[in-house]
Amino acid sequence: MEILEMLAVVMALLAIILALTILVAFARRMMPRSIPEMKLIKKIKKEKPKMSKDTASEGVTFNDIFMFMIAVPLVLLWVGFAGFVIHSGLNDSSVLEQIEGYTTLIAILGGPALLIIKDALDVWKQEQAEKTAFYKVKAQAVIDYNDHAQKQAQMIEAKAQDQEHKMESKK
């Protein structure tokens, strides 16, 4: 029983830590930057190549707001409530008498939460596939570059030898 109790407490603490981490990251993103950071950002922006209008105007989208306002709290609520029910059920027998209601609530919250988690994993898999494809293209470009450089070096060497043979035959 103590192991389950500790697991429930740990899961609840992890959910709280995750929520706080997300809130801090979101708050940092929204806070105005300090003057040295602003100067550095301006310097970087000057050095960056110009972007298209679509890329430059991209900022916080509806999907970003949806994820931070609805999806993330729903998933955290689901995990936190499940941990709370487990912890309370181990300490209080009256919770076990009403466990069907609690499991129904966990299931109701869990349906959308699991869909959100699945979508987040799909997006992550897509990003990983794009990275893999990018690195394959990059590796092939390096291979092609090295192949062409080697061919060019061989061609230069062959022409130098031909020139040397011509110079020797003229003597």
Q: What are the boundaries of each domain within the chain? A: 2-123
DSSP state of 48: S
pTM score over 0.75: no
Angle in degrees, CA 81, 24, 42, rounded to 5: 150
- Alpha-carbon span 143 to 45, nearest angstrom: 32
Residue pLDDT tens, the chain, 171 long: 566 677 677 777 777 887 777 777 777 777 666 666 566 666 665 655 555 554 444 566 666 676 777 777 778 888 888 888 888 888 888 888 888 888 888 888 788 888 888 888 888 888 888 889 999 999 999 999 999 999 999 999 999 999 999 888 886
